[in-house]
Structure 1
Amino acid sequence: MLVIVSMMALGLLVAAGVAVYVAYPHRGQDLPVVPQVGEAMRKGVDALPVLEDSESRV
């Protein structure tokens, strides 16, 4: 039972993080209460590799 509750809580946290990212930093705006979190999200996404248009065509 504890495992199910903890997995549900983890899923809700991940969903909330995605919603917050899409609502603010993805649009180029700062989070109203904690702008440091938005900056950290932006840095994390910028560090991920990106597939360029020329690489995606097979």
Structure 2
Amino acid sequence: MLTISLVMVLILVVAGLVMTFVAYPHRGQQVPQAPWLGAAMTRVAERAPLLDREQDEVPAGRGR
């Protein structure tokens, strides 16, 4: 029971961080009460790998 409770709290914390990132740093704004959190999220987002636009495109004659 304790394990389930701890995992649920962890899930809620991660969900809160994702919502905070989408609401503020992703749009280029500072987090009002915790600017350090916004700065940390921005640093992590800059380090994340990105896909090239060319890799996302479907070649002609394939797909839909």
TM-score (norm 1): 0.92
Work out the CA distance in 2 between the residues paired with 1:2 and 1:33: 31
Structure 1 equivalent of residue 17 of structure 2? 17
Compute the displacement of 1:57 (Å): 2.9
Give % identity: 43
1:35 corresponds to: 35
Secondary structure in 1 matching 2:43: helix
TM-score, normalised relative to structure 2: 0.84
Q: Which has the higher helix share?
A: 1
What's the C-alpha RMSD, in Å, of the aligned pairs? 0.9
In structure 2, C-alpha distance between the alignment counterparts of 1:43 and 1:26, rounded to whole Å: 11
- Structure 2: any 5+ residue segments left out of the alignment? 59-64
Please tell me whether Structure 1 or Structure 2 has the larger radius of gyration of its CA atoms: 2
Residues 8-39 of structure 1, C-alpha deviation per residue, up to 9 Å, x if partnerless? 00000000000000110011000111111101
2: CA distance between counterparts of 1:57 and 1:19?
29
Runs of at least 4 residues off by over 4 Å: none
